[in-house]
Each structure stands twice: as structure tokens, then as C-alpha cells.
């Protein structure tokens, strides 16, 4: 089983739609969780950290389920500018490194 | 505040040549990383450093070397370039562990022919 798994997509949605991505992780000692966004041929940028109680930032909501070892990202009222690849990122307790999933591609159409 | 700066942005190498990818950050971050990203794939960790003088291998270190003589700089050396090293290379830095953001450079697109 891969350490961090994501559905590669693409998810094709119309503007205004709500879309959700899941990410599963295999290491139960995983400590910190993030969602990064990567535009085509660009560097990844932090979208949001994922807190244990879940957190919201505008149209974006992140949830963590430690029992089932997955995190989710919900995007409401999708915009054309949300089209990108969303990367799930995990760190482990005592480790200095970040482990990336392969990403989920989102395409928002007019 | 420039953040993480990578040079060069593009490079074409011939098989067997060597080169150094430069990475510098001005945020006084202790942790620095080198990743490679192949088309349609995720980022794979090559090497990382938790401070000046300390480096460690990541998932795919073969064919690469690094050094960390200062907090600011973390160059990646490719010896005897091979076509399999054709990729986009990203350098990143962060302050430490936990919920700290990693900042990425703009990447170096390397082609080995």
C-alpha cells in the first residue's frame, strides 16, 4: 500500500459545483497533514493545513479522520481559478520530511 | 523577501555531464528539501537537511549528492547525468516540524539527452 494515496482524477465539474477529494495515508504515526495546490508547470503552494478538529478557509473545508486514516478537502462554489492539482501531504511524528500524494486534478468548466 | 530561489530554471545536459542545481532561501529556515517530479507523478524526495552540516537521503538519492555548508544554501549535484534524471526539480524549505508550511522554489526543468 502506498504511503499517501489519492484518486488522480480528473474531476470535471461546472462552475458553482461542490467537489470533495479524499486522501488516505498508511502510517498511523502520521502527525501533520496539509493540502497543497499545484498549477500546471508551477511549484506547489500551501492551500491549507488540516487540524484535528477540521478547519475551514472561505470556500475550502478540510477534515481529518484519524481512525480511518484519511483526510478530505471540500471545495464549495467552484471557480474556474480552482482548476489545479491538489496534493495531499503528510508528515510523521519525529520525522522531518513531507510525503506527497500524487495529486488529484480538478478541472472547473464554465 | 525572495523566499526560495532556484537556478537555473531550465537546463539541457548531455549524458555523462555533471551539473549543480542551486537553491537558496532567505527565511532562515532550518529544514531544506530537494524533490523531483516526473510527468503525472507526485513529488519524490531526493535529499533533505535539518540544518547546516546535516544532510540525509530521501526516497530516490542515487545519482545525486548534496551539501549544506550554510543555512541559506542547499545545492544539489548531479554526477554523470542519465536520461532517467530528466525531471522537474523543486527545492523547498520550512522552519521545522509540525504544522509549518513548506515554501517551494519555482523549479528547475532538466532534460538529459
pLDDT (tens place) for every residue of chain B, 113 residues total: 689 999 999 999 999 999 999 999 999 999 999 999 998 788 999 999 999 999 999 999 999 999 999 999 999 999 999 999 999 999 999 988 777 889 999 999 999 99
All three cell numbers of A36, joined, read 497543497
**Cβ-based contacts of A98 with chain B (< 8 Å):** 33, 45, 92, 94, 102
Confidence of residue A96 (pLDDT cuts 50, 70, 90): confident
pLDDT at A29: 82
Whether the pLDDT of residue A81 is over 90: the answer is: yes
Q: Give burial (CB, 10 Å; 0-12/13-18/19+) of A81.
A: exposed
pLDDT at residue A5 greater than cutoff 90: yes
Q: How confident is the model at residue A28 (pLDDT cuts 50, 70, 90)?
A: confident
Between B97, B106, B107, which is nearest A91 by CB?
B97
CB contact at 8 A, A16 and A81: no
Inform me whether the pLDDT recorded for A92 exceeds 80: no
Instruction: Identify whether the C-beta of residue A82 lies closer than 8 Å to the C-beta of residue A106.
Output: yes
The mean per-residue pLDDT over the stretch A33-46 comes to 94
Kindly indicate the confidence band of residue A4, based on its pLDDT and cuts at 50, 70 and 90: very high
Q: What is the pLDDT averaged over residues A13-41?
A: 93
Residues A89-102: what's their mean pLDDT?
A: 84
Which of A3, A52, A96 is the best mutation test for B, with the most CBs of B within 10 A? A96
Residues of A with Cβ-Cβ distance to B97 under 8 angstroms: 31-32, 91, 94-96
Q: Is the pLDDT of residue A1 over 70?
A: no
Residue B111, classed as helix, strand or coil, is strand
Q: Is the pLDDT of residue A31 over 90?
A: no
Determine whether the interchain pair B42/A91 forms a contact, defined as Cβ–Cβ distance below 8 Å.
Answer: no
Contacts of B98 in chain A (CB under 8 A): 31-32, 91
C-alpha A70/C-alpha A83 separation (Å) is 23
Alpha carbon distances (Å) from A55 to A60, B25, B100, B110, B111: 8, 30, 16, 38, 41
Query: How confident is the model at residue B1, as a pLDDT?
Result: 65
| CA distances, A4 to each of A51, A71, B17, B34 (Å) | 18, 10, 34, 19
Three-state secondary structure call for residue B83: helix
Amino acid at each position: 500500500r502506498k504511503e499517501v494515496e489519492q484518486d488522480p482524477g480528473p474531476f470535471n465539474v461546472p462552475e458553482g459545483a461542490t467537489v470533495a477529494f479524499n486522501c488516505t495515508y498508511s502510517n498511523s504515526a502520521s502527525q501533520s497533514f496539509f493540502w497543497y495546490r499545484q498549477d500546471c508547470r508551477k511549484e506547489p503552494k500551501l492551500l491549507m493545513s488540516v487540524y484535528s478538529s477540521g478547519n475551514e478557509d472561505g470556500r475550502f473545508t478540510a477534515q481529518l479522520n484519524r481512525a480511518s486514516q484519511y483526510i478530505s478537502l471540500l471545495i464549495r462554489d467552484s471557480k474556474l481559478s480552482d482548476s489545479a492539482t491538489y496534493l495531499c501531504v503528510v508528515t510523521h511524528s519525529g520525522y522531518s520530511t513531507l510525503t506527497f500524494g500524487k495529486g488529484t486534478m480538478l478541472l472547473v468548466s464554465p | 523577501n525572495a523566499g526560495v530561489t532556484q537556478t537555473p530554471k531550465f537546463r539541457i545536459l548531455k549524458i555523462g555531464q555533471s551539473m549543480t542545481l542551486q537553491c537558496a532561501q532567505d527565511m532562515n529556515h532550518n529544514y531544506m528539501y530537494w524533490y523531483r517530479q516526473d510527468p503525472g507523478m507526485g513529488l519524490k524526495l531526493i535529499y533533505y537537511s535539518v540544518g547546516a552540516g546535516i544532510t540525509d537521503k530521501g526516497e530516490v538519492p542515487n545519482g545525486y549528492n548534496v551539501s549544506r555548508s550554510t543555512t541559506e544554501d542547499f545545492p544539489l549535484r548531479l554526477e554523470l547525468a542519465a536520461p532517467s534524471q530528466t525531471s522537474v526539480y523543486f527545492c523547498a524549505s520550512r522552519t521545522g516540524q509540525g504544522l509549518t508550511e513548506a515554501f517551494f522554489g519555482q523549479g528547475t526543468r532538466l532534460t538529459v539527452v
